[in-house]
């Protein structure tokens, strides 16, 4: 979501360019007092906050009730329903923005998959969600773990052949004239064992050993049956030795079609499995999927599916792949994915939405998601998501029908979509009334007041936004709107205080961007530099002014108005910020230090700790990987590798790295890592004293004192408060 739309007067002669020097001069001391130059080009006019998006998530009124019900059903439902319940749990956590819990739900779905197809889908989904682990493949391999934790499934093993498909016990004609039969195809003749060929299928048995005239013939013409002489020879060999191992792929396809036509189940299965073993690339999968679906070859279809899903999101750019999923009918999809059709399109639509929410591909996948929803919860999710996409595409009539369907299915959040559509039509009063009706009929939530605020003005809007913040302090729009409004009334200090309310506990690029402009208006260039450096820490390619200006360019311009610090100044400032729990200030100092010749390993590590504390796990992992790359010693590198493993859920491997580091050199960070890894790799409360002992050992080691405080607090607590144990989660009191 972009937050700023520059005024027309700020645009240069080139329509797609914006030169920040038009309002930010390079020479120090030459910046004018913005308040003394009121114009449309003032910084205040740059701060415009767009309406919050209607999110394509499942957002129940009572999250606790829904999660409790899912938990209860997981304990009592049949095995075949568990993966879908974990998928619903995943969608609930997605609406809450809980990335770690989302992945845990996906892993639960994968572990409890009832069919091989569900195993394929959720395994590929986990691989997609953990793409960052591709960067640490060498580390996982060195720990004795597969570089790809969720490795491809052995499909042939999980889809055994039905041994009951047999021709034994059928009526035979014992007056046959020969043990052999000759099939003619064109001018060529293939001599086969009559008994062995008859055993391939009921049609062949009836032809060769039943009461048909061919049972008495030594020669049978197969020229019109779409089988080549070499294909028939391979079939004859298979009837004798049961193998197709030497048959080339093009001939296997010919035999597959022939076997399906004549109901040769054993031959078809062998052909199916042999072709499946040859699928190793996207091109193979695309080419063979058509045959698999046409001939109902489940092993081949599942193998092709696995290759395509594990190549996401890359293969989404191939129209041939998209068309396979969009155009397959229900029967073909059942061959491809068994009972996991809804889960498949749930995965595909999420990947497509992440690439382009308003694309035709996203719309097509969500249409299929609606088509194959099996119950009320699945249907309301699919209807709401497709409604959001139709809204983005400005297909308002279709969006209305979808949102209405979602509301009727019980998804109250979809009322926000209906209200937005009425507002677009110009009926602001109706939009306000719809949200008021929701607020009066169910337990009030923050988003309800936030949405209603869009359809009123003045004090009413302000009151609704205050209620929204009180009910859900994590919503960023109310703070942004209030700050922008205060800036327009020339009350920059109040605007700063307002935006600081959310930045005190939630890091948001949009809010940092607003605060950057506020600091500029106050001519506090040091604070403005702090904000833009933090933005660049989170996203080095971030662009401001609706994407018109690189944040790095603004950083360069503002830096000219700030006195440069020495390395000693930076360390002193970092200590002050860290001690004051000023995480944004700490990130800014570290960003500046990384531009110097300081030891980068420890700085990237500190950066990762701050980013984790600010709930930015992806950026934190990037910093950890850079810390590993720039480690100044072996024992330091082992600590960073241990934290990488720990943060990706490999607790035992993280513990091993900590021990290896301690063997080389006893250090605060190594003991600290070992304590955390031990706590999370064991659910036995009896290990608590060991954890505390490790933390006490950490305190005895030399340290820069930036992290010792939190360890000292833990060790000073009474023993009965050392740990609060909750299954799967450990909290230090």
Distance CA 471, CA 112 (A): 36
Is the pLDDT score of 307 beyond 70?
yes
| pLDDT attached to residue 178 | 65
pLDDT of 15 above 60: no
- Mean per-residue pLDDT of the chain: 85
What are residue 374's phi and psi, to 5 degrees? -100, -20
726 forms beta bridges with 729
pLDDT of 116: 94
Structure pTM? Answer: 0.85
Average pLDDT estimate for 714-723: 51
Rounded Cα–Cα distance for residues 225 and 222 (Å): 5
The rounded distance, in Å, linking the Cα atoms of 605 and 430 is 53
Tens-place pLDDT, residues 648-680: 888 888 899 999 999 999 999 999 899 888 887
In angstroms, the first-to-last Cα distance of the chain is: 37
The pLDDT, as a whole number, for residue 715 is 60
Q: Look at residue 167 in the predicted model and tell me its pLDDT.
A: 44
Say whether the peptide bond before residue 471 is cis (omega within 30 degrees of 0): no
Helix 600-613, helix 617-629: angle, nearest 10: 170
Residue with tokens 């700085």: 603
For 72, the token pair is 């209860």
pLDDT surpasses 50 at 571 = yes
Q: Using the predicted structure, report yes or no on whether residue 13 has a pLDDT greater than 90.
A: no
What's residue 36's pLDDT?
Answer: 40
| Tens digits of residue pLDDT in 318-353 | 999 999 999 999 999 999 999 999 999 999 999 999
Q: Across residues 555-583, what is the average pLDDT? A: 88
pLDDT tens sequence across 228-273: 999 999 999 999 998 898 899 889 999 999 999 989 999 999 999 9
All structural domains of the chain, each given as residue ranges with its CATH number in brackets, are 63-156 (no CATH), 180-277 (3.30.710.10), 282-502 (1.25.40.10), 654-732 (no CATH)
List own/partner pairs for 392-396 with CB under 8 A and 24 or more apart. Answer: 392/357, 392/358, 393/358, 393/363, 396/421, 396/424, 396/425
CB-hemisphere CA count at 13 Å for 119? 16
> What is the 3-state composition of the chain as percent helix, strand, coil, each rounded to the nearest 5?
65, 5, 30
> Do 701 and 695 meet the contact criterion of CB atoms below 8 Å apart?
no
DSSP 725: E
SS3 723: strand
| Runs of H (alpha helix) within 376-508 | 376-392, 396-408, 415-424, 428-441, 446-453, 458-471, 477-488, 492-503
Residue showing tokens 């930015």? 616
Nearest alpha-carbon partner for 503 in 615, 657, 401, 623: 615
Q: Which burial class, exposed, middle or buried, applies to 254 when counting CB atoms under 10 A from its CB (0-12, 13-18, 19+)?
A: buried
Q: Are strands 188-193 and 549-550 parallel, antiparallel or unpaired?
A: unpaired
Give the pLDDT confidence score for residue 278 in this predicted structure. Answer: 93
**Exposed/middle/buried for residue 290 (C-beta within 10 Å: 0-12, 13-18, 19+):** middle
Q: Give long-range contacts, CB 8 A cutoff, 24+ apart: 62-71.
A: 62/443, 63/92, 63/95, 63/96, 66/92, 67/92
Identify whether the C-beta of residue 525 lies closer than 8 Å to the C-beta of residue 558.
yes
Question: Bigger pLDDT: 276 or 21?
Answer: 276
Higher pLDDT, 35 or 284: 284
Q: Which residue, 95, 54, 90, is CA-closest to 358? A: 54
Which of 328-332, 477-481, 572-576, 724-728 is predicted least confidently? 724-728
For the segment 145-160, the average pLDDT, to the nearest whole number, is: 74
DSSP state of 81: G
> Which residue pairs from 623-626 have beta carbons closer than 8 angstroms and sit at least 24 positions apart in sequence?
625/135, 625/136, 626/600
> Residue 38: its pLDDT value, please?
37
Structure tokens at 661: 């580091």
**Model confidence pLDDT, tens digit, residues 89-137:** 999 999 999 988 999 999 999 999 999 999 999 999 999 988 877 777 7
Over range 402-424, report the average pLDDT. Answer: 97
3-state secondary structure of 732: strand
d(CA 244, CA 264): 14
Contact (CB, 8 A) for 655 and 678: yes
Instruction: Assign 3-class secondary structure to 207-264.
Output: HHHCCCHHHHCCEEECCCCCCCHHHHHHHHHHHHHCCCCCCCHHHHHHHHHHHHHCCC
Q: With 60 as the cut, is the pLDDT of residue 442 above it? A: yes
């Amino acid at each position: 979501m972009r937050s700023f739309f520059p005024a027309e007067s700020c645009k240069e002669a080139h329509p797609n360019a914006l030169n920040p020097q038009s309002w930010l001069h390079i020479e120090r001391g030459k910046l004018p007092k913005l308040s003394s130059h009121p114009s449309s080009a003032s910084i205040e006019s740059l701060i415009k906050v767009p309406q919050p998006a209607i999110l394509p998530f499942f957002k129940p009124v009572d999250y606790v009730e829904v999660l409790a019900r899912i938990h209860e059903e997981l304990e009592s439902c049949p095995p075949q329903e568990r993966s879908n319940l974990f998928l619903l749990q995943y969608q609930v956590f997605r609406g809450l923005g809980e990335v770690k819990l989302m992945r845990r739900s996906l892993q639960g779905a994968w572990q409890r998959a009832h069919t091989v197809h569900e195993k394929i889908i959720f395994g590929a989904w986990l691989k997609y969600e953990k793409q960052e682990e591709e960067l640490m493949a060498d580390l996982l391999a060195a720990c004795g773990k597969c570089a790809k934790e969720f490795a491809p499934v052995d499909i042939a093993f999980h889809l055994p052949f039905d041994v009951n498909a047999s021709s034994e016990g059928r009526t035979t004609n014992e007056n046959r004239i020969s043990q052999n039969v000759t099939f003619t195809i064109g001018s060529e003749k293939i001599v086969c064992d009559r008994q062995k060929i008859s055993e391939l299928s009921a049609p062949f048995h009836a032809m060769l050993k039943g009461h048909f005239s061919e049972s008495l013939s030594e020669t049978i013409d197969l020229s019109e049956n779409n089988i080549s002489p070499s294909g028939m020879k391979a079939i004859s060999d298979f009837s004798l030795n049961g193998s197709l191992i030497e048959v080339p792929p093009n001939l296997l396809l010919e035999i597959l079609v022939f076997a399906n036509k004549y109901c040769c189940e054993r031959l078809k299965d062998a052909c199916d499995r042999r072709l499946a073993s040859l699928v190793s690339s996207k091109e193979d999968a695309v080419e063979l999927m058509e045959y698999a679906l046409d001939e109902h070859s489940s092993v081949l279809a599942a193998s092709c599916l696995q290759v395509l899903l594990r190549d996401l999101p890359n293969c989404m750019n191939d129209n041939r792949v998209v068309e396979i999923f969009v155009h397959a009918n229900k029967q073909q999809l059942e061959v491809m994915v068994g009972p996991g059709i809804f889960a498949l399109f749930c995965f595909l639509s999420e990947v497509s939405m992440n690439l382009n929410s308003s694309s035709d591909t996203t719309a097509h996948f969500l249409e299929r998601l609606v088509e194959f929803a099996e119950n009320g919860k699945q249907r309301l999710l699919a209807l709401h998501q497709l409604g959001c996409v139709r809204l983005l595409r400005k297909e308002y009539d279709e969006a209305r029908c979808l949102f209405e369907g979602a509301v009727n299915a019980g998804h109250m959040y979809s009322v926000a979509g209906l209200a937005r559509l009425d507002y677009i039509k110009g009926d602001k009063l109706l939009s306000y009334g719809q949200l008021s009706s929701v607020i009066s009929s169910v337990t009030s939530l923050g988003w309800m007041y936030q949405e209603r605020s869009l359809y009123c003005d003045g004090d009413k809007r302000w009151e609704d936004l205050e209620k929204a913040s009180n009910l859900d302090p994590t919503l960023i729009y109310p703070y942004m709107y209030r700050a922008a409004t205060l800036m327009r009334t020339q009350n920059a200090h109040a605007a700063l205080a307002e935006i600081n309310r959310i930045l005190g506990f939630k890091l948001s690029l949009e809010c940092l961007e607003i605060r950057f402009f506020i600091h500029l208006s106050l001519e506090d260039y040091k604070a403005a530099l702090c904000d833009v450096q933090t933005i660049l820490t989170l996203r080095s390619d971030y662009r401001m002014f609706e994407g018109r200006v690189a944040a790095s360019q603004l950083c360069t311009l503002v830096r000219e108005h700030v006195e440069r610090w020495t390395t000693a100044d930076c360390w002193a400032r970092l200590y002050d910020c860290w001690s004051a729990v000023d995480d944004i200030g700490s990130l800014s100092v570290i960003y500046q230090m990384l531009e110097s010749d300081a030891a980068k390993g420890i700085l990237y590590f500190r950066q990762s700790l701050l980013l984790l504390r600010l709930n930015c796990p992806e950026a934190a992992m990037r910093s950890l990987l850079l810390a590993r790359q720039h480690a100044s010693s072996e024992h330091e590198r082992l600590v960073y590798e241990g934290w990488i493993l720990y943060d990706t859920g490999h607790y035992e491997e993280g513990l091993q790295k900590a021990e290896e580091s301690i063997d080389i050199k006893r250090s605060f960070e190594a003991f600290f890592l070992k304590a955390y890894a031990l706590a999370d790799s064991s659910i036995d409360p009896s290990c608590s004293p060991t954890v505390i002992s490790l933390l006490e050992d950490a305190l005895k080691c030399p340290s820069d004192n930036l992290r010792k405080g939190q360890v000292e607090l833990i060790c000073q607590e009474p023993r009965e408060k050392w740990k609060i144990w909750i299954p799967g989660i450990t909290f230090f009191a």
